[in-house]
Structure formats: structure tokens, C-alpha cells
Structure 1
Amino acid sequence: MPGDHPDPTVIKIGDTYWASATSAEWGAVFPLFSSKNLLDWELVGHVFPDKLPDWAGSNFWAPEFYQENGRTYIYYTARKKGGMLCVAVASADHPAGPYHDHGPLVGQEAGSIDGFAIPDEHGDLYLIWKEDGNSCYQETPIWAQRLNDERTALIGEATELFTNDVRWEGPLVEGSALVRHNGWFYMFYAGNSCCGKGCQYATGVARSRALLGPWEKYAQNPILDSNDTWKCPGHGTVTELDGRWFLLHHAYFKQSHEFVGRQGLLSEFTWNAEGWPEFVRRSPQAPPLTDLGRLHVADEFEGSRLGLEWQWPINQQPATAVANGQLHLSAEPSRLGAVVARRTHTATYKAATTLDFAALPADTFAGLAAVGDPYNALALMAGNGQLQVWHLKSGKQQCLTSIFVEPCATLTLRLEVWGGQRYRFAYSTDGATWQPIPTESFAVNGTYLPPWDRGVRLALVAQGEAEATATFHNFILRNQR
């Protein structure tokens, strides 16, 4: 799953595999993918495509499927508005939705994350989750508690299964995913720091005859660790195909690391003579992407609505209309304005868009931006007869350069980036001849863009009064090495 897809989960229902992943602070929330072979995935929808659950405000992390009696459940993490991280649940009559949210199940003072549902040895369904103690410099117990018959509330008492007490685990254990094999419960879990330049994530495993323990951690942990291609592999879910066992997990590609984010990988494992899972060379064997062309984007805005791949900052879904090969994006006045974005797949690429320049209302700016989050971006913006390069850092906007452009009906904007760090901008009035945008240095530094847990997006943006609209004719993204 190339691009920013952390904490992936997978389940087989009938003859179809279903997958999802963390969406964090980007909507739509929790993508839904389907596949027949674990390799070719189609994005078919989202758990929360438009409206967020009323109780939740941010941190939409770690969805996990559970299926029972024809009903599909998603146990997920989100932050209560003004409060703590919670594990919650939504359900649907079909894996593709629509999903009905049932609200939070548990929210401890330190926070509760990474819920996973599994029946115990007696057939009673339990929720497994992590207490987020590392957020307040405490240990991170993994808990288990029984679910009610409706699978929408916890009953009885919670039982602690284990915590981070081995050196490699560092400040935490999290991301539990369980499977039962040959009379054992196996818990694949992640340890140490997950994200960003200094990540040290790896995957361990523990096992127990009974779900509530006692649990034994494998002496050879971590069983999945970094190599020269992939960094910080962890937080995955186990699945089978034709008798072969796989973990769908995330990792950073070394060459792009935090600029693209944590990507979904499928790693095969076998069971050794002692009954423990083993990965070849204890590291992901997925090769680097070679066919980058299949990930190129050329969106001409056909049809009547934006494609499912487009995203926006949660709680800031902009008003859009697609018609006659054009995207009409209603402006917003704050910071960068209205944003619709796509994931990136490499740290070196070119992106372009053509917009109606002459038709832009006064004091409305529209353009192309590399976006870490709504507070950190680099943008090439057109408006008021000008082109401007905007530097948005920690919510503070600065115009790095501004030039006047001869009147023209449409304007094509181009953004180029090398290694996620060096940005250069250009424009064209005819779509063929390019004029560079002068800046103080050859390239603008974008090292600051990625948040600790997310990759950079490429976005179309519109800033201005709410009644103003910007019109885009296309969006093109070309990946490079």
C-alpha cells in the first residue's frame, strides 16, 4: 500500500480481503480497500466518508476489523473532544459500509489506543488495547476486557496481559494483533518509538495458552526489524493466503522516510520448530517500488465528484463541485485556505495544475501546495494579478516572493521537489513555456513540513472569502527517483 498508510489492518471475509489504515488528521476517515489476492487493492470507500462521530475530534488511528454473524465491526482510536484518547467501535452490515458509530468503549486517564477484538478459548469476545502511558512517562500495559453480546460495550473487569519490560521495547508496547494457531494465542505487537527521523520501531511476539495469560514474550524479539531498505517496521495484522502466513504492517522506505510517511507492506513469515513465527532475516523483504509510473496521477476531474483518493484536513472539509472537467473549490479565509490533497509516493516529484486566473475574484488566491498539516505548507499561489510563494510554518504565513503576471485566462503552476527538502516553483501562460519563480536561493527548504506521524500531501488550495470560488482544470503528479 504505497504512500502514507500507517497501522494497516486486514481481514478475509468470504473470498475477499478487506484492509484499512490510520488516517490521523486527514479525512475522509479510515480508507476501505478490497482485494482478492492481498496484492492488488482497490479503494472502495471510507468508514466515515463525510461526517465524523459526534464525540470525536482528532487522532483517528489504528482501525481493526472484526466480523461476526454477517456484521462487520471496526474498533478504532480517536480523541474525545477536549479529552483523552479512546477506543471506540462502529459497525456495518457490509464491510464496505455504511458504518454506524457506537461511540467510545474505554478511555483511561492516560489514554486508550489500538483496540483489537478476539474470542478467548471459551468463545467469549474480548477487546485488547494499550493504555497510552508513554504519553505521561509511565509504562504501557496491554489490557483485555470482555465485550457485551452486542459488541458495543465492555463488561466485567479488565486484566493486564503485559507491559513494556524488555530493553528493545523502549518506552512502549502497542499495536496488538492476535491470532490463534496450534492451541496458542500469538500477539504480534510493536515496541519503541514509532515515527519521524528518530524512530526505533520494531515488531515482537508473545504467546499464551489462554487469552488472559500468562503471556510469554519470545526470547528472540524483535522478530521484525529495520534493514537497508525499510525502517521501523511495526503495527500490523496477521492474515493467510493459500496456507501462507503474512503480516500486513507499516514501515518507512529509507530513501523517502518521513516525507512520504509509513507505507503498508506485506511480510511473509513461517512457524519454526518451537512454534514461534519467523521472518526471513528478521526484516521486511518487500522490494522498493520500481513501477512508479502506475502511481502517477493525472486527474482531469471527469465525472460529478472528487475521486476517493482526495483528502482534506479533518473538521475542515471544503465545499467542492466537479462538472465539465473542472473542480470548483470554495475558498476559506484561514491560513492556507480550503485544501484538497493527495498522498505522495516518493520524496522527489513534479506536480502541476491549471487554474482559471482571470476569473479569480479579487483578494482570492488559489494554487498548488506541499502540505504537512494545515499549519505547515509551501505553496505557489495566484491572485490579484500576481504569483506568490507562501511559506507557512507553525501557523505563521510569510510571502517569500511575489511577481506580477500578464493578464491571461488560465495559468499553469508547477512545483518540483528533490528528496522532500528542496522546492522550486515555475509557471506557464501557455502550458508549454515555463518561467521560474525567483526566490532568495535556488530552492526553498521544506524539511520542516512533515509532522511526526504523517507524510507530506500535494494539495490544491483556495484562500479568500467563503463566497469566492477557484476553478481548477487538472491535477498532475509525476513521481521520480
Structure 2
Amino acid sequence: MMTRRASSLATILLGTLIPAFTAQATATFAWFDYQASGKAPQVAEGHFSNPILPGFYPDPSITRKDDTYYLVNSSFAYTPGLPIFESQDLVHWELAGHALNRPSQVTFDNLNTSRGIFAPTIRYHDGLFYIITTAVDAGGNFIITAKDPAGPWSDPVWLPEVGGIDPDLFIDDDGRAYIAHNDAPPGEPLYDGHRAVWMWEIDLDTLKVKPDTRKLLINGGVDISKQPVWIEGPHIYHVNGWYYLTCAEGGTSVNHSQVVFRTRSLSEPFVPYENNPILTQRDRPQSDITSTGHADFVQTPQGDWWSVFLATRPYEGNHYNTGRETFILPLTWSEGWPHLLPAGEPVPKTLPMPENASPDKTTFAERSRHFRDEFDKGALDPQWLGLNTFERSWVAAENGALRLSPVTDSLVVSEQSAFLGKRQQHMQFTASAKLEETQPGTTAGLVVFQNRRYHYFLGVKKAGSQRLAFVEKVEDGKVTRVAETTLEGEGPLVLTVENQQKALQFSVTDTKTNQQIIVGKPLPATLVSTQTAGGFVGALIGLHARASGE
């Protein structure tokens, strides 16, 4: 379900309205259906569940305008980019739009899936929304602005002076503004993972960095003698006469943590909190929620504080397919320091609702348990993601059908492919798509996708007078056909992948006979986990068409 505003913006979320298909159709899908399996989480009356945004929604940043909250996530090389959510109560979130939705803003051509847009910061000030972020290997750090967070957002103002990643925009009470960011340390790194946090002053009127204002805030981390790694994701706040700097430390995996520093003046050094970290799960190695960090804070109109942050839900060791997800916790202040979670305590899976939250509404997490698209809106649902570019000449929607025209003969190549994917948001799920037609020379089907070098493909293609269904495994870029079966007759097919515990089972159902044909044995889901494939994204379930080569 989309909000009215999100629905009205659906036509621009991928840059333009999907064109009517005028060229020869090559693969036609009638619908796509994704459904979580197993029981829904048990949530007591007056409570809500963590994560608030299940699936690949990492590096959350949050701001507030009046009584409405806005949240943005990293999107890496997927388009549209920078998803923006809005909420009235921090519990019920709706997708408002995407800040990056056109090629004039940025391009990710030929990038690895885990490059592109890293941890953004969203802020509201004096009638204008700001997002500052990094396009890794695609231009560096930039700022975009909008009067409405649903868009349109401006083209980027690039910040060539600001190196590194994860920029923060802090606007002080006097209107002066600053950028804090991760970058290389002063001098030569002392050890692997040695990074630093730097700060610049920026002119909000011109969005230009003020020259000669660069200042070192943190070298290494809380205690450089202990060789802390990957100090990043900085955010600065001004609270009760103190300036607080909070950062992620330890790397965005099982050693991830959130640390905090403070100072009375930005011209003086930041001092670390003696009880750091204020959030981590690294002291709970068997926890089913791990890797907590990359937090951002927000204050409610009533004066309460909350923090959004990322965490993961592994199912076998550190394997997880749902990516780094957005969680939330109340934040309290004691003796002049913020507190999130006592050492050794698990991240709660449910929380009491804030006083102004309505228990009668459905949450984003609840709605995510079932997604169905019958391609009858004239525009792609905003949950669909493409690879690298905003160009969509290979996809069209009309009369309740999605038509894909092959661009490449493989998903392994770095070039733009005819692929659309929806986030995997649950450990157990069933996803199906009705394939109406594949023309000779075309292979089409269902993909479970982590990146180009790690994915599964259930494909169907013409084979003389018959059709061939097969499962292809791509592991470290090596393509192996692990199963195939010949299909008799003609007519639509329903392609299905079922996540059974730690395995994926593929099947094809003939809609005329209703006969289900299992294609191959169950395959390990760990192949498409972040732990196996590397990178920073979660798995997608998608549709793909390719040239068969005949």
C-alpha cells in the first residue's frame, strides 16, 4: 500500500512513466507475488516490532519537520536511489519517494552493486530538506535539496574538497553549518582500518565548503592505542549546551558499535564517553540480531529522543540474506550522555508504542509480508529496483502485463541488464511470477540476486518445439547449470522459488494442467547471503530477460 502522495509520484520514481511497449515483446509477465512464510512475529497489544524497515534498508538517517519524521537509507548502485520514508509517530512508515530518480543527478554505469550511494544524512532547516551523501566511484560527496521530501530533489552540488565517505550535515542554532565525514587519517595509517573523522564549515546559501576550515575531530576512534577500526557515519548534535558527536566504530559487521563524544565548543577537542560503546551486539555472539551501529538521533515534539540504526538478522553463523535493516530504540540522557542499550542486552524485537501512535494502523513491516504486483498501474511499483542506470527502454507496462526486452545474454556482465528486483524482507518466503510468453531467442525467468557474481536464475527458453526450464547457479562469477527439465506444450507458466529454512527450491507450474514440476534439488540459501557474496546489500527477488544466443 502506498500513500496518496507516493502513488501520485509513482510515475517519476524510475525517472519517467513506463512507456507503452511498441517494439516486439520478448518476455511477458502477468504478475509477481511475494509472501512471507511462517508465522508473523507475535506483538503484544500496544507494541510494535523491530525492525521497522525489514529488508535491505541500511545506514538510516532521520530528521523531523514539525510533527512528521523523514528517514533515508543507503541504496548503493540500485536505482531509483535514496528511498525516503515518512511517519507521524516513528512506528508507521510509508515510502514517500526516492531522492535520486533521473540520470541528470548521478549515474552508476558499470559499478559493482555495493558501490554507489553510501550512508546519507537527511536534515531539515528553515523550509528546506537537505541530503548529503557519497557516490562512491561515481563522483564523490554531494548535497541535494528539496522543499518536499517526496521530491523533486535538485541535481547534486558536488563537494570536491570533501573526501572520504559518510558525510553529515550539522546546522547549529546560529545558522552556521558544518560537514563531518570519514576520511584518511593524518599522515600514514598506523594499522589496517585506521580512519579519521574530519569537519568543514559550509555556506548554506551557496552550498560551498568554506576554504581553510578543515579540522580533525577524531583520529582512529575512541582510543587509538587499541587500534579501533573504521570510525565512520558521524553525526553532530547540539543538546543542552554540549556538542555531541556519535559515530559507528568497528566495521559494519559483527564488531559494529556506536560510540559518542562531546565538547562544549566545536573549536575544542571532542572527549569520548568513558562507557562507550552506547550500542553494540558484539558481546552477544549467539544473538539473532547482530551488527548494530550507524545510528542517528531525533527528538520528538514532546522532548523524547529516539535513535534509528542498522542491524542484521543472521540465520546461520553470520549468514543473512535480508541485508542490513533499519531498527529503532528509545534514547535516554543520563549525566550528560546519551544511552541506547546497556552492555550485554539484546536488541528488543518489540517495543511499546509512543503515546501518539495509533495501534489500529498497519506498519510497514506488517504490510511487507505480502507484495503483489499485477502490472496494471501504468508505472512500476516503487519497490522495484534496477541495476546501475535510470534508463528503462527495455521495460514496458500496458494492459496488466510487464514486458522485458533482452539487453545482454547474462546477468554476470557489468553492463545494464533487463532486470528488476524487489527486496527480500523475510528469512522464509515464497515468490512466484506468471510468465505468459517467451519468444524464440529469449530466456526469461525468476532471479534470487545478491550481486552479478552471486545469484540463482530459474529460466525458461524455447528449445525447438518444446520449452526448457533450468536453474543456473552463479558463484564467484562462475556460471553452472545445476538442473534442467523439458516442458511439454504451450501456455503460461508460474515460476516459483520457495525459501525452505536454509535452502531455496525452484519449481515451474503449467497453468493449463496445474502440474507443478520441481526443478532440481534444494540449493543453499547461503550462496546469496552477504556473508558469502560480500558487499553491503541484501538479496533481491527479481525478473530477468536475456538473449538466448540462438
Structure 1 residues 151 and 418: CA distance shift in structure 2, 3 A = farther
Say if 2:89 is the partner of 1:34.
no
Contact 2:217 2:270 in 1 (8 A): yes
> Is the CA contact (8 Å cut-off) linking 1:86 and 1:107 kept in structure 2?
no
Matched-pair contact (CA < 8 Å) for 1:332–1:465? no
Matched, 1:390 2:472: yes
Indicate if the aligned counterparts of 1:88 and 1:104 stay in contact, CA closer than 8 A: yes
Q: Is the 8 A contact 1:352 1:413 kept in 2?
A: yes
Residue type of the alignment partner of 2:219: T
Residue 243 of structure 2 corresponds to residue 161 of structure 1: no
How far apart are 1:162 and its partner, in Å?
Answer: 1.0
Q: Which residue of 1 aligns with 2:183?
A: 131
Give 1:5's aligned residue. 57
SS of equivalent to 2:320: helix
CA contact (8 A) 1:28 1:46 kept: yes
Structure-1 residue corresponding to 2:426:
346
Q: What are the equivalent positions in structure 2 for 1:200-349 lying under 5 Å apart?
A: 200-226=255-281, 227=284, 228-241=287-300, 242-255=302-315, 258-272=320-334, 274-282=335-343, 285-287=347-349, 294-315=368-389, 317-318=391-392, 319-336=394-411, 337-349=417-429
Asked if 1 retains the 8 angstrom alpha-carbon contact of 2:80 and 2:390, the reply is: no
Alpha-carbon separation, structure 2, partners of 1:21 and 1:375? 24
Which residue identity is paired with 2:157?
A: G
TM-score, structure 2 as length reference: 0.76
Gaps of 5+ in 2: 1-52, 110-114, 352-362, 412-416
What displacement does 1:361 show? Answer: 1.6
Q: Which amino acid aligns with 1:352?
A: S
Amino acid corresponding to residue 430 of structure 2 in structure 1? K
Offset, 1:94: 1.9
Tell me, what secondary structure is at the counterpart of 1:5?
A: coil
CA contact (8 A) 1:9 1:21 kept: yes
Q: Which residue of 2 is the match for residue 474 of structure 1?
A: none
Q: Which residue is 1:371 aligned to?
A: 449
Structure 2 CA distance for partners of 1:54 and 1:14, relative to 1, 3 Å: same
User: Partner of 1:361 in structure 2?
Assistant: 439
Corresponding position: 1:399 with 2:478: no
Moved more, 38-47 or 89-98: 89-98
Paired residues in the alignment total 452
The residue type equivalent to 2:250 in the other structure is N
**Whole-Å separation in 1 of the counterparts to 2:108 and 2:436:** 37
Q: Partners of 1:377 and 1:302 in 2: how far apart?
A: 28
What is the percentage of aligned positions where both structures have the same residue?
Answer: 24
Contact between 1:106 and 1:112, CA under 8 Å: does it hold in 2?
no
How far, CA to CA, are the matches of 2:516 and 2:80 in structure 1? 35
Corresponding letter in the other structure for 2:398: A
Of Structure 1 and Structure 2, which has the larger fraction of its residues in strand? 1
Q: How does 1:178-197 map to 2 (within 5 A)?
A: 178-195=236-253
Superposition pairs of residues 80-159 of structure 1, within 5 angstroms = 80-81=137-138, 86-106=140-160, 111-120=163-172, 122-132=174-184, 137=192, 139-157=194-212, 158-159=214-215
Residue 444 (structure 1) aligns with: 523
Deviation at 1:294, TM superposition (A): 4.8
Choose 226-235 or 451-460, whichever is displaced more: 226-235
SS in 1 for 2:380: coil
Distance 1:391 1:102 in 2: 39
The amino acid of 2:82's aligned partner reads: F
In structure 1, give the amino acid aligned to 2:147: D
Please list the CA deviations of residues 304-327 of structure 1 after superposition, one character each: whole Å capped at 9, or x if unmatched.
111111111113754322222211
Query: Would you say the 8 A contact 1:168–1:191 is kept in 2?
Result: no
Distance 1:316 1:56 in 2: 9
Q: Deviation string for 1:158-198 (max 9, x for gaps)?
A: 00011224277732211112221110011121101213xxx
Q: Taking CA–CA contacts closer than 8 Å with sequence separation of 6 or more, which of the two structures ends up with the larger relative contact order?
A: 2
- Residues 187-220 of structure 1: CA deviation (Å, up to 9, x unaligned): 121101213xxx3101111111112431010011
1:292 to 1:102, Cα distance in 2 relative to 1, 3 A: closer
Matched, 1:45 2:104: no
Q: Kindly provide the amino acid, as one letter, of the partner of residue 217 in structure 2.
A: L
SS in 2 for 1:177: strand
Aligned equivalents of 2:346, 2:330: Cα separation in 1: 8
TM score, norm. by length of structure 1: 0.87
| Corresponding residue for residue 473 of structure 1 | none
8 A Cα contact 2:107 2:388, kept in partner: no
- C-alpha contact 2:368 2:425 (8 A) present in aligned 1: no
| Distance change (3 Å), C-alpha of 1:138 and 1:212 | farther
Q: Deviations over 1:34-57 (max 9, x none)?
A: 111111111121111132634766
Secondary structure of 2:342's counterpart equals: helix
Q: Measure, in 1, the Cα distance between the counterparts of 2:544 and 2:445.
A: 5
Q: Deviations for 1:215-259, whole angstroms, at most 9, x for unmatched residues?
A: 010011011011534211111211122322111111012437531
1:391 is displaced (CA, Å) by: 1.2
Change over 3 Å in CA distance of 1:400–1:10 after alignment to 2:
same
76 and 135 in structure 1: CA distance in 2 versus 1, 3 angstrom threshold: farther
- The 5 Å alignment of 1:417-436 reads 417-419=499-501, 421-430=502-511, 432-436=514-518
